[in-house]
Amino acid sequence: MVLACAHSGQNYPADFVASARLDFPALRRSEDSFVDELFDAAPGLGAPMVVARFPRAYCDANREKWELDPEMFEGALPDWVNSKSARVGAGLGTIARVVASGEHIYRHKLHFAEAQMRMERCWQPFHDALLTEIGATRAVFGQCLLVDCHSMPTNSQSHSGRVDVILGDAHGTTCSARVVRGVEELLVGLGYRVKRNDPYAGGYITRHYGRPREGVHALQIEICRSIYMDESRIERLAGFVDVRARFTQLVAELVASRGFLPEL
């Protein structure tokens, strides 16, 4: 098993903060704050974890490498840039136009060289590391379960009734149904209310790496922020330690499972 955490980074470059029209707390609204801490026991249990230390608002590793909004840049972008995706249209490309709450990030337009630098220093190293861990895991075990770790704001849930965790497998295409069912049962046993694929079915990481026929099963986990943090103040709740202990138990049970993945 390998874990990925692309949206918890809190290392904000000073020049990025200075170029923003938003104050620092507003810039942090796109973070999956503290999710990396919820799973940080994983390496000690035998499951490597790849964590982005750069913030999502600066460079989003859960996007294609070149999903860019031409309206954000001086001059024309290269023809090979993906400027037509729904994510770009929403302002949430690889370099976001807005934070998660919809407010514009930048005072001025960017130069394409800035995008190239962020891809080279942030996006590419993250995915190189993730590929390395997946490859090493497959080399030893024959298969790999990639757990893509995220959090969701409480008000983002489109369904009635509160849900604590949403599992995303791109509607059955990125992960064995047996695996999804097993993870769901473990989470329910830990006391959580679980739903699948609505409204989060899996982003770029889950869909790009999830290839069950090739022995890589990818499952996105979205954790409701209200169970572990104060969303307005971006602070851990008193119950954070308990939530972390439960997700540590989840990882431990998955690592210890035998025959959890189907045979190739």
Interval 45-67: pLDDT, tens:
999 999 999 999 999 999 999 99
**pLDDT value at residue 212:** 95
Q: How many structural domains comprise the chain?
A: 1
pLDDT above 70: percentage of residues in the chain? 95
CATH number at residue 69: 3.40.630.40
* Residue 11 covered by a domain: yes
* Residue 199 covered by a domain: yes
* Residue 264 covered by a domain: no
* Residue 262 covered by a domain: no
Work out the average pLDDT over 9-20. Answer: 96
* Residue 263 covered by a domain: no
Interval 75-112: pLDDT, tens:
999 999 999 999 999 999 999 999 988 999 999 999 99
Prediction pTM value: 0.94
* Residue 144 covered by a domain: yes
Domain that holds residue 56: 2-256
**pLDDT value at residue 155:** 73
* Residue 261 covered by a domain: no
**pLDDT value at residue 263:** 56
Asked, as a colleague might, if the bond just before 55 is cis with ω within 30 of 0, I would say no
Angle at 25 between CA 23 and CA 27, to 5 degrees: 70
Helix intervals (H) in the chain: 14-19, 24-27, 35-38, 42-45, 86-89, 112-118, 124-141, 177-189, 204-209, 240-256
Interval 151-182: pLDDT, tens:
999 876 554 568 999 999 999 999 999 999 99
pLDDT of residue 264 exceeding 80: no
The residues that bridge with 104 in the sheet, in sequence order, are 98
Q: What is the mean pLDDT of the chain?
A: 94
